[in-house]
Amino acid sequence: MPQTTTLDRMRPVAQQLYETLRQRILSMELPPGMHLSRSELAQQHGVSQTPVRDALMRLQAEDLVEVFPQAATQVSKIRLSHARRTHFLRRSIELELVRELSLSPDPSLVARLKASLVLQSGLLEANDQAGFVKADQSFHHEFYQAAGQEDLWRLIHSRSGHIDRLRRLHVPTEGKMQRILEDHKKIVEGIAKGDPEQACNALREHLSGTLQHVAEIRKMYPQSFVD
């Protein structure tokens, strides 16, 4: 495993390890099925194994790693059943959020969403896939913040490991980032016009994009899946 960033000693170490390892798993830097060594992780970060164990326990609770007592810890493979359940939950929540936001458009929200579109466009042009994925998530986070539903965002975040990795495998596909951006534009247009039907239809199509291509993605990365 490559050297990771230096930890901030002013913040809880276990929390930082959890955040760092989670991001490396979602970005596929730590691929599905990879074995993780507590001692190596502790050595990399200059910490004891206790915060490493605590971080791995949190990741295990999110089904992102599998911990085998007295044996090994490995990054969990992508479970399509888990991804589909999370997709259903997220789609149900975000459709309601977008419907409500479209019924009473907030100019400040629309401005933030349009600024996000500009950012995404620049990342697309630069072919910055990691940056684009992050901007995509921030774009959707705006819905939860605007509706005062941060708790729901945290709920989705804690369950999104499998669907997020599935999407990460899909992003490099030719034209995928462009389609994401176009979907986002339609959603923003619907919200700005106060047209919940347009906004919700665009969101529904957008969120279903990756699952429609599961067979192709799995064929390209068969070693990353378990069901």
Encode pLDDT of 61-115 as tens digits: 999 999 887 768 999 999 999 999 999 999 999 999 999 999 999 999 999 999 9
Please check whether residues 68 and 87 belong to one and the same domain: no
pLDDT value for 46: 87
Encode pLDDT of 143-181 as tens digits: 999 999 999 999 999 999 999 999 999 999 999 999 999
User: Which of 41, 75, 109 delimits the end of a domain?
Assistant: 75
Please check whether residues 103 and 41 belong to one and the same domain: no
At residue 174, the 3 state secondary structure works out as coil
Encode pLDDT of 7-60 as tens digits: 767 788 999 999 999 999 999 999 999 999 988 999 988 889 999 999 999 999
Q: What is the mean pLDDT of residues 191-206?
A: 97
- Domain extent, residue 24, equals 13-75
- Structure pTM? 0.90
Q: What is the mean pLDDT of residues 177-200?
A: 98
Scored b (16 or more CB within 10 A) or e, 85-114 reads: ebbebbbebbbebbbebbeeeeeebbebbe
Q: Is residue 2 part of a domain?
A: no
Enumerate the H helices of the chain as residue ranges: 13-26, 38-45, 49-61, 80-103, 107-125, 129-146, 150-159, 161-170, 176-193, 196-207, 214-220
